[in-house]
Amino acid sequence: MKNVLALCISLLFFASIFSSLPTSSSADSTFDSFANCLTKNGVPSNQISKILYSPTNTSFSSVLNAYVRNLRFNTSSTKKPSIIVTPLTVQQVQATIICTKGSGLQLKIRSGGHDYEGISYVSDNPFVILDMFNLRNISIDQPGRTAWVQTGATLGELYYRIWQKSNLLAYPAGVCPTVGVGGHISGGGYGTMLRKFGLTVDNVVDAQIIDVNGRVLDRKGMGEDLFWAIRGGGGASFGVVLSYKINLVPVPPFVTVFSVQRTEAQNATNILVKWQSIASTIDNNLFIRVLVQPATVSGKKMIRLTFNAMYVGNSKSLAALMKAKFPELGLQSSDLKQMSWIQSILFWANFRSSSDKPEILLDRTPSVNFLKRKSDYVVTPIPKAGFTAIFNKITQLGKIGLVFNPYGGKMSQIPETDAPFPHRAGILYKIQYSVNWDSADPNLTTQYLQQARDLYSFMTPYVSSNPRQAFLNYRDLEIGTTDNGPNSYNEGKVYGLKYFKGNFDRLVKIKTAVDPQNFFRNEQSIPVLAA
C-alpha cells in the first residue's frame, strides 16, 4: 500500500514538473529574445553570456538555490523563474528593467534572499529574477562617519568593513550576518541597538534607485517622497534600490552581552512579568530580548525563557543597572561578557567559540532550514494569568516559540510618520512567532504552519488591534495578499494597514506617481490607485 501511494505521489510530481517547466525550445526563445533586448540596450554579448541564465543552463539550479534561505521554497513544485540575471554593472540592471518590461514577465528582485515567504525568488506568474548578489561594494568614509553600501552586500560584510576601519563605529542593523542589505534596509530592519539608535532607516541619509524607466536617481533626483518610501515601505514596490548611504553610529571600545535561561521551575512567569514592566523603559543602552520556547526539563514539559541582552557600555555599569532594575533575573557577574562591538555581532550570531574570528562574517552560506514566521505588537501589558495561558498553549503545541523584542527609547521619540515603519511610541514590544524544522516531510510542514496559525489566533486578546500591527520584514502572506488586479487597493489595505498604519495611503500615492503601470509588483506590494 505504501509503495502504491509513493508511486502515485511520484507520478503526480512528474506531471507537475512536466507542466511547469518550459519546454527546451520555449526556454531557448525566451532566453534569445531577452538576450537580444539586452544587446539592443547596450549590453555587449560577451557580458550577456556571463549574467543571463535560462532553465536549460547547467548552472541554473545552483544559481537559483544559492540564495534560497527558506527550504519550504526549495522543492520541485516551487515555481521557477524563466530567466535569472546576475548583473555586474549598473547599466546591466537598467537594461534588465527595460527588457523585463518589454517581455511581459514579472520582475522579482533578490538581494540576500532572506524573505520569509520567498517572494524575492518565487512567483505564480512567469517571472525574471534580478539577482543583486554581485553588486556588493561598500565604501566607508570614516572621518565623515558615513558609508555607501550596495544592496547585494550582506550585513556581515557591512559590519566587517566598518570594523576594519574603526572599532568605535557601528551600524544598528539585524542580527543574522547573511541577511541582504537590499531587503533589510528597504523593509525597515532593526537590530539589538534599536532602543539607542532606532532602526536602519533612521540612519539612512541618501540612496540610489533605478526607476521603472531605467533612470538612476539619488535622493535629490528621486525627491523626498520616494526617498521616504524606500526607508521602510519595501523597495520592491518602487524600483531597484542600488545602494544606501548610511550614518555610522559611535560605540565604546567595549559593550556587554549576556544569555541566561530560566524555566518555569525557576520562576520564569514572575520574571517575565517583571521583564515586561522594565524592558521598554530601562536605559536606552540596554536591549533584553526574550525567547519563549517549549522544553523538556527532567522529563517534564514546560516553558524555558532565554534572556539575550546587548548593553552599549561596560560590564560594571550593566551589573549595577541589573541589580537596581531587574534583580529578579538573578544575574551572576560571570554571566556578563564584555567584548568589542564586532565580537558582540559574532556572539549574537551564535559564533561563541574563542576560535571564531570576524572573517566568519564574510561567509555567505548559512545552514538553512524550513521556516515560518509571523509578528505581533504588544501595547498593553499582558497580565500574569495571560502569560500562564500562553505558556500552556505553547507547551501543548510543542514546537513553535515566541521572541519578544522590547521597543521604547529612541523608537518612542521618532514620529510615526517619519518613515513608512509606523510602530513607534506606545509599543512595549514586538513578538516574532518562530518555528524552524529540518525535514521535507509535507506532513510536518502542514503541522507547523498550523501551529503558527493556532498560536496567532490564541494571542488575539493580548496584542494590538484595529489594525493588528505586523512587521514588514517578518513577511507573512497569511495576513493578506493582492493579485494586483482591479481590486488591489482594497486587498492592499488589508496587509498595508497592518504593516504601515496611517502611512499606507501616502505609500499608495507615491507608488501611483512613480510606477502608475504597477510594473514593480508582488504578492504584498503597494497598490496603485486607478487613474
Ligand X SMILES: *[C@@H]1O[C@H](CO)[C@@H](O)[C@H](O)[C@H]1NC(C)=O
Ligand Y SMILES: Cc1cc2nc3c(=O)[nH]c(=O)nc-3n(C[C@H](O)[C@H](O)[C@H](O)COP(=O)(O)OP(=O)(O)OC[C@H]3O[C@@H](n4cnc5c(N)ncnc54)[C@H](O)[C@@H]3O)c2cc1C
The residues binding ligand Y (CB under 6 A) are 69, 108-116, 119-120, 132, 151, 174-176, 179-180, 182-184, 186-187, 189-191, 234-236, 240-241, 473, 522
DSSP annotation of 2 reads H
67 given a catalytic annotation? no
Residue 74 partner contact from ligand X, ligand Y, none using kind-dependent CB cut-offs of 5 to 8 Å:
ligand X
Q: How far apart are CA 150 and CA 158, in angstroms?
A: 10
Q: How far apart are CA 468 and CA 42, in angstroms?
A: 48
Q: Least Å distance between CB 161 and ligand Y?
A: 17
Q: Least Å distance between CB 330 and ligand Y?
A: 27
- Residue 52 or 97 with smaller CB distance to ligand Y: 97
Of 429, 448, 474, 499, the catalytic one is 474
Positive or negative torsion for Cα 320, 194, 502, 497: negative
**HSE (side-chain half, CA atoms, 13 Å) at 400:** 30
Q: Are strands 138-141 and 146-150 parallel, antiparallel or unpaired?
A: antiparallel
- Residue 250 or 327 with smaller CB distance to ligand X: 327
Q: Least Å distance between CB 337 and ligand Y?
A: 20
Residue partners of 181: CB distance under 8 A and separation at least 6: 111, 112, 149, 150, 151, 152, 153, 154, 155, 158, 244
Q: How far apart are CA 198 and CA 408, in angstroms?
A: 9
Residue 94 partner contact from ligand Y, ligand X, none using kind-dependent CB cut-offs of 5 to 8 Å:
none
Phi-psi region of 42 (alpha: psi -120 to 50; beta: other; left: phi over 0): left
Residue 89 partner contact from ligand Y, ligand X, none using kind-dependent CB cut-offs of 5 to 8 Å:
ligand X
Q: How far apart are CA 486 and CA 252, in angstroms?
A: 53
- Residue 35 or 210 with smaller CB distance to ligand Y: 210
- Residue 421 or 456 with smaller CB distance to ligand Y: 421
- Residue 119 or 310 with smaller CB distance to ligand Y: 119
Residue 53 partner contact from ligand Y, ligand X, none using kind-dependent CB cut-offs of 5 to 8 Å:
ligand X
- Residue 100 or 473 with smaller CB distance to ligand Y: 473
Report the 3 state secondary structure along 250-290: ECCCCEEEEEEEEEHHHCHHHHHHHHHHHCCCCCCCEEEEE
Q: Are strands 300-311 and 255-263 parallel, antiparallel or unpaired?
A: antiparallel
Q: Least Å distance between CB 466 and ligand X?
A: 33
Report the 3 state secondary structure along 469-509: CCCCCCCCHHHCCCCCCCCHHHHHHHHHHHHHHHHHHHHHH
Residue 46 partner contact from ligand X, ligand Y, none using kind-dependent CB cut-offs of 5 to 8 Å:
none
Q: Least Å distance between CB 139 and ligand Y?
A: 17
| Residues of the shown chain interacting with ligand X in the complex, contacts defined by CB under 6 A | 49-50, 52-53, 57, 59, 65, 71, 74, 89-90, 135, 137, 267, 270, 274, 328, 368, 441, 443
Residue 57 partner contact from ligand X, ligand Y, none using kind-dependent CB cut-offs of 5 to 8 Å:
ligand X
Q: Least Å distance between CB 174 and ligand Y?
A: 3
Q: Least Å distance between CB 346 and ligand Y?
A: 14
The closest alpha carbon to 380, from 310, 280, 505, 302, belongs to 280
Q: Report yes or no: 71 and 188 within 8 Å, Cβ to Cβ.
A: no
Chain centre to alpha carbon of residue 377 = 17
Q: Residue 309 corresponds to which cell in the numbers above?
A: 541582552
CA distance readout (Å), 219 to 205, 207, 214, 505: 8, 6, 16, 21
- Residue 55 or 235 with smaller CB distance to ligand Y: 235
Residue 240 partner contact from ligand Y, ligand X, none using kind-dependent CB cut-offs of 5 to 8 Å:
ligand Y
User: Active-site residues: which are they?
Assistant: 474
